[in-house]
């Protein structure tokens, strides 16, 4: 299942680079997004390395999810796609 990286989790003053907000294709409600909790997420760098993460909870009411990555994703990951596995 494909998802798009929307941005870092954070507020106006701070941002958490290890947590990213994702929009999953075909998921547009809180209920359908809650079925994705605890699934693995993989982002592939332009060089071919894979950075793995895990869906930790939903974000908002429109089906966005929040994923925590073991190391933070770089800013160039915003707008790219990730693979939701499981």
pLDDT in tens, 5-64: 999 998 889 988 899 999 999 999 999 999 999 999 999 999 999 999 999 999 999 999
Domain holding 30: CATH number? 2.40.10.190
Q: What is the pLDDT of residue 83?
A: 96
Q: Which domain holds residue 8?
A: 2-85
Count of domains for the chain: 1
By residue count, the chain amounts to: 86
Cβ atoms of 33 and 26 within 8 Å: the answer is no
The pLDDT of residue 39:
96
pTM for this one?
0.89
Of the candidates 22, 13, 12, 1, the residue with the CA atom closest to the CA atom of residue 69: 22
pLDDT confidence of residue 85: 94
How far are the Cα atoms of 5, 21, 84 from residue 33, in angstroms, in the given order?
Answer: 15, 12, 12
Residue 62: the pLDDT is: 92
């Amino acid at each position: 299942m494909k998802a798009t990286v929307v941005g870092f989790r954070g507020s106006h003053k701070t941002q958490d680079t290890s947590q990213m907000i994702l929009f999953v294709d075909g998921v547009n409600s809180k209920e359908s997004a809650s079925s994705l909790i605890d699934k693995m997420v993989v982002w592939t760098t332009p060089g071919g390395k894979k950075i793995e993460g895990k869906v930790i909870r939903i974000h908002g009411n429109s089906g966005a999810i929040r994923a925590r990555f073991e190391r933070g994703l770089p800013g160039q990951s915003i707008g790219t796609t990730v693979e939701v596995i499981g």
